[in-house]
Structure 1
Amino acid sequence: MGKELGNWECSGDDEFACNTLFQGMITKSTPMPSDEELTVPHEITLSTPYFKAVIPYMHRACEKEVKDFMLRRQETEDPRLSLREGRILTACGIKFLQSLKKTCSESVDRYADCIDHRTAKLYITPCREQQRRLDICVEENLNITRPRMGYFSKLHVHNGQFPKYVHHTRDYKAEAAKLLAELPDDYHLRDDSRAYDQQRYNFFDI
């Protein structure tokens, strides 16, 4: 039985490579996502000042999608397995930005412009008045309240809609035993191996 991964299927001897992209070397036959799977209808392309201005509200609007994506990404340790959640999160962000542009475009521009020009390091502290006006606009029009300071630093418990991912640990001992069993009886095995911490006293003996 193969394991479905996106629109392709992992099976046979390379099934391990389907589950552990970054835990070791991969082979030429390791399945990788196609361009279509990596492409979304709209990408989120914001400059840093605008991103800092809107990200607290965007996170609250897409909080479930953010947690689903991060949970899936962290559990699988394989970006290929979280492409679906990533597309859903991107779509949610685009939808929020479109709504924000229709209702609070002027407030966003003023806040982002202040962040961009008041300090060289893009601090938001000197822009509290512009932030307050944007807070009011977003709350009145989108019913989203700006999170209290420290909200994103708290521990959040999230139960995803997908089953917990089970990692497949490679059994190197069994693989070595299988390989040795396939060797002919008269195969020459090295008997001069040493432990990694064994001293080499003779330079020519290394």
Structure 2
Amino acid sequence: MAESSAPVPVVANDPLPPLQELGATSAPLKSAAYFIGDQCKEFNEDFMLCKNENRDPAHCLAEGRKVTRCAADVLNKLRAACVQEFEAHWNCLEWNNQYYYACRKEERPLNACAFTKLGYKKEIPGSPEGKTPIHLIERPYFKRQQK
């Protein structure tokens, strides 16, 4: 008899099936952070609302799993569509103490790939209206310094 592939409803007292961790260090997560924030915004907001309701970690397991699955999906899509650009950017972050400003040159091709191939967008919260977003500035004032 074939197994059913229908999704199993989550019931409060049922144990949750195992979920693989993202399997990414801080550099790939930081490289994909804006895309994860854009694509997983609703799941993140639900999780944060749940955490504000109750500080018990078990209370929000289902919402946390949705956030993790969404982030894993974004990372997998970036790896599939933009592997070279993604690796170049997160390797730059890894070697430059996780500073975005030091990796703008590598960030531009990643953004272009994610925008065109995946339809992602990048909006930085709190950016002033009518000003060029920092990740689009061609000649930034702050640059890496030789020490």
Q: Do both share a fold (TM > 0.5)?
A: yes
Provide the residue aligned with 2:6 in structure 1: none
Q: What are the ranges of 5 or more consecutive residues in structure 1 without an aligned counterpart? A: 9-35, 152-206
Cα deviations by residue, 1:55-95 (Å, 9 ceiling, x for unpaired): 11111111101111111112212211101111111111112
| Structure 1 SS opposite 2:82 | helix
Match of 2:101 in 1: 125
Aligned to 1:104: 82
Is structure 2 residue 124 aligned with structure 1 residue 145? Answer: no
Q: Does 1:92 align with 2:74?
A: no
Structure with the larger helix share: 2
The equivalent residue for 1:25 is: none
Q: Is the 8 A contact 2:34 2:124 kept in 1?
A: no
Q: Distance in 1 between matches of 2:109 and 2:94?
A: 17
How much identity, in percent, do the aligned residues show?
25
Pick the aligned partner of 2:48 from 70, 76, 79. 70
Larger radius of gyration: 1
How far does residue 37 in structure 1 lie from its aligned partner after superposition?
A: 2.9
Task: Decide whether aligned partners of structure 1 residues 149 and 68 sit closer, same or farther in structure 2, where only a CA change above 3 A counts.
Answer: closer
- Given that residues 38 and 83 in structure 1 are in contact (C-alpha distance below 8 angstroms), is that contact kept between their aligned partners in structure 2? no
CA distance in 2: counterparts of 1:82 and 1:128, whole angstroms: 36
The separation in 2 between residues aligned to 1:53 and 1:146, in whole angstroms, is 12
Pairs within 5 Å for 1:1-206: 6-7=12-13, 36-37=15-16, 39-40=18-19, 42-117=20-95, 119=96, 121-148=97-124, 150=126
Q: Residues 109-154 of structure 1: CA distance to partner in whole angstroms, max 9, x if unpaired?
A: 000111112x3x3212111111111111111111111122536xxx
Amino acid at match of 1:60: D
Give the superposition deviation at 1:7. Answer: 1.1
Large movers: runs of 4+ above 6 Å: none
CA RMSD across the alignment: 1.9
- The total of aligned residue pairs comes to 117
Distance, in Å, in 2 between the alignment partners of 1:49 and 1:96 is 15
One-letter amino acid of the structure 2 residue matched with residue 94 of structure 1? A
State the TM-score, normalized to the length of structure 1.
0.52
Gaps of 5+ in 2: 1-10, 128-147
